[in-house]
Amino acid sequence: MADAAGAEKPQTIHPLFIRVTHWVNAFAIFVMVLSGWRIYNASPLFGFEFPPGFTLGGWLAGALAWHFAAMWLLALNGMAYLAYGIVSGHFRRDFFPISFKRALNDVVLAGRGRLDHAPGRYNAAQRLLYVGVILAVIVAIFSGLAIWKPVQLQGLTALMGGYDVARLVHFFAMAAIVAFLVVHIALAVGVKGVLAPMFTGRAEAPR
Amino acid sequence: MKPSRLSAFGSKVARLERRSFIKQSLSLGALSLLSGCTLKDDDAVDRLLSAMSRFNDKMQAALFDPTKLAPTYSEADLTTPFPFNAYYEEKDVPFVDGESYRLQLSGLIADKRPWCLEELRALPQSSQITRLVCVEGWSAIGKWRGVAFRHFLERIGADLTARYVGFRCADKYYSSIDMPSALHPQTLLALDFTDAKYGYPLRLRIPTKLGFKNPKFIHEIFVTNDYPGGYWEDKGYNWFSGS
């Protein structure tokens, strides 16, 4: 694995394992969120429904079929990603330390267009967002299990504050993931040269 | 009921009537994002999702703990009014005459003699206050009283090693459950509940499964090893649907 420091030739900034799990995860999250919106519409928690055209499944049974199929992909791929991140040192090396103050500082710099983006290194705002969305997905999975199995996994459901609260937790975990995606996709598309390496693994020549 | 709600209900029924749920499952918004997948894959996706649903049946059966009890609640927690829910509207509930009612039995059962309500009431009764969770996501806490289903199955000499117990109802609804869930200590053949519209004279109360696995207005119970399906299950809902 290439280190951020040695940069004579194109360096591998995203290892193959990370690239594969990233795109599998992207597909699984896409299916979970859009089918989840259709399931939400069957019994809305709040005074709105998601536009049916932006949901997956066609009707409740179809949406549930997608949701309960893709959950395995999300969970298994997620566990593989977490295991890799811990064992390889990727998390320790690239995500920590996390500083709210520096993250805020980076956001201000980015707003002024003065934030340097070094290939292969996460700035403080990225670190906070990536760790945050990983935690949001974990909360979404556990609150989802609490809703799915309030009898067999009643300890987990109680931990979530009961069945009704678990539904709210599940909703807001989704909302956090979607909020992350809005920022993440906008930056991935908008910032020059960061999208291609997620496919090829290689950083473009330093500018 | 207001006209606007009626028409909304009509369109909902039309939606629910769709048999091949995958044909409609890729809505346009999602489809445009799934560019690269051709619509010809519909059948393959359909098969994949069905296979995953059968896989989830197996996983849920493995996760099912026959001794784990559903949480129970107090009278103060009861949801009032308890929401009515069926594939038809409340005004269309069937009328069943309790005097002439006979519960029919068929399939792998030793004593298929029909039961009248008095005979069912003469069996030991127990009650429970549990949460009914609908597949739509909402839930409600209710109180039910009746015969422990396990006791009834033993009493009629049902083959307890058979795979399925099926139900046919006066409202043309039908469903089926796995034998281990049927034998769970909280599975109840309920005779007493809030109101007749919730299934008079006999309904199943099974707190270890979703609401649609709790058939109302039961007039026949059968035991079988052949997969019996169900009203919603045959339309694409997961069969096991355990809680």
CATH no. for residue B82?
Answer: 3.90.420.10
Residue B223 counted as domain residue? yes
Residue B229: per-residue pLDDT: 96
pLDDT value for A7: 45
What is the mean predicted confidence (pLDDT) over A173-192? 94
Vertex A41, ends A39 and A42: CA angle to 5°? 70
Chain A CA closest to residue B130: A151
Percent of chain B with pLDDT over 70: 83
Q: How many angstroms away from the CA of A56 is the closest CA of chain B? A: 6
pLDDT at A8: 54
Q: A57–B21: do the CB atoms touch at under 8 Å? A: yes
Q: Which of A96-110, A158-172, B142-156 has the lowest mean pLDDT?
A: A96-110
Identify whether B241 is part of a domain. no
pLDDT of B196: 82
Residues B53 and B93 in one domain: no
Residue B243 covered by a domain: no
Contact B30 A43 (CB under 8 A): no
Res. A116 pLDDT band, cuts 50 70 90? confident
Q: For chain B, how many structural domains are there in total?
A: 2
pLDDT of residue B168: 98
Rg of chain B in Å (alpha carbons): 19
A56, A61, A151 member nearest B237 (Cβ): A61
DSSP B72: B
Mean pLDDT of A3-10: 52
Task: Please tell me the distance from the alpha carbon of residue B139 to that of residue B137, in angstroms, as a whole number.
Answer: 7
Q: Chain A contacts of B238, Cβ < 8 Å?
A: 64-65, 68
Domain hosting residue B140, numbered range:
70-235
In chain B, what residues touch A68 (CB-CB under 8 Å)? 52-53, 56, 238
- Residues linked to residue B126 through DSSP beta bridges, in sequence order: B146
More confident residue, B66 or B14: B66
Is domain A16-200 annotated with CATH 1.10.150.120?
Answer: no
Residue B22 C-alpha, separation from nearest chain A C-alpha, in angstroms = 6
Does A123 have pLDDT greater than 60? yes
- Helix (H), strand (E), coil (C) string for A76-121: HHHHHHHHHHHHCCHHHHHHCCCCHHHHHHHHHHHHCCCCCCCCCC
CB B133 within 8 A of CB A150: yes
pLDDT, tens digit, 9 for 90 and up, residues B118-129: 999 999 999 999
Does one domain contain both B58 and B160? no
Size of interface A-B (CB pairs under 8 A): 114
Pair (B231, B113) in one structural domain? yes
Give residue A12's pLDDT: 85
Per the CB < 8 Å rule, is A57 touching B25?
yes
So what's the pLDDT on residue B23? Answer: 44
Same domain, B57 and B95: no
User: Is B150 strand, coil or helix?
Assistant: helix
B-chain CB neighbours of A174 within 8 Å are none
Asked if residue B21 belongs to a domain, the reply is yes
Same domain for B23 and B107, yes or no, is: no
B14 — contact with chain A (CB < 8 Å)? no
Within-domain flag for B77: yes
The full set of domain ranges for chain A reads 16-200
In angstroms, the separation between the Cα of residue B134 and the nearest Cα of chain A is 10
What is the structure's pLDDT at B42? 63
Whether B24 and B137 map to the same domain: the answer is: no
Give the tens place of pLDDT for each residue, B204-214: 999 999 999 99
Nearest CA-CA distance, residue B195 and chain A, Å: 24
For residue A34, the chain B residues in CB contact (below 8 A) are 30
Residues B218 and B163 in one domain: yes
Is residue B242 included in any domain, yes or no? Answer: no
pLDDT of B161 > 80? The answer is: yes
Flag if A68 and B27 touch (Cβ within 8 Å).
no
3-state SS class at B145? strand
